[in-house]
Amino acid sequence: MLEVLRTRGYQAVTMAGIARKVKRARASIYRRWPSKPYLVADCLVSTLGASPAPDTGSLRGDLRAAVGTLQRAFAGPLKQALPGLVADMAHDPELAQAVRRQVLAPRRKSMRDALDRARGRGEASRALDVELLLDLLAGPFYFRTLFGHGRVDRRLSRSVVDHVLKIVERK
């Protein structure tokens, strides 16, 4: 499905086309996904992962794991699909809601949990705007993928984590 998103856009993704590709009846596809937006969102979750920040025992490790999922996805399968998907989200409220609910919310919760663990270990200040911090972690990956002005690679991942840790550690 990512190939269709990448080459032809969200409108070209159809439940019937997916059913043909996987050699299943459309009804079996609809039993698992009630509509196309849910199917696309589930595909994104399988590409990005729903819980990107495992408990590694340190905030640095948790954040490296989290941004690593973005780096791998945006340097790979989502690189060319993301711009069209974002454009389609702007015109399809159901798709936008499905992506926010199924993809972004669980990922943000995972990273929020990592920050809570770090606070419990004394690694992070309690005086943080956590939602802004989550945007700072993910934003460079989305921005570079959408506008293509910089590389999405391990160096970016390390740099993002290093800069965010400087903010987090400030008391």
Which pLDDT band holds residue 170 (cuts at 50, 70, 90)?
low
pLDDT of residue 70: 92
pLDDT of residue 33: 81
pLDDT of residue 112: 95
Query: What average pLDDT does this structure show over 71-91?
Result: 87
Cα 163 from Cα 165, distance rounded (Å): 5
Fold of 35-169: Tetracycline Repressor; domain 2 (1.10.357)
Distances (CA, A) of 12 to 5, 16, 91: 7, 11, 15
Q: What is the CA radius of gyration of the chain?
A: 17
pLDDT of residue 32: 84
Where are the alpha helices (H) located in 100-171, listed in sequence order?
Answer: 105-121, 130-147, 154-169
* Chain mean pLDDT for the chain: 89
pLDDT of residue 57: 95
Report the 10 Å Cβ neighbour count for 70.
25
Cα 86 from Cα 72, distance rounded (Å): 19
Q: Are 168 and 104 in contact (CB under 8 A)?
A: no
* Full-model pTM: 0.83
Structure tokens at 169: 């550690």
Structure tokens at 61: 């490790």
User: pLDDT tens-digit profile of 102-156?
Assistant: 889 999 999 999 999 999 999 999 899 999 999 999 999 999 999 999 999 999 9
pLDDT of residue 147: 94
DSSP assignment of 18-35 equals HHHHHT--HHHHHHH-SS
Query: What average pLDDT does this structure show over 40-46?
Result: 81
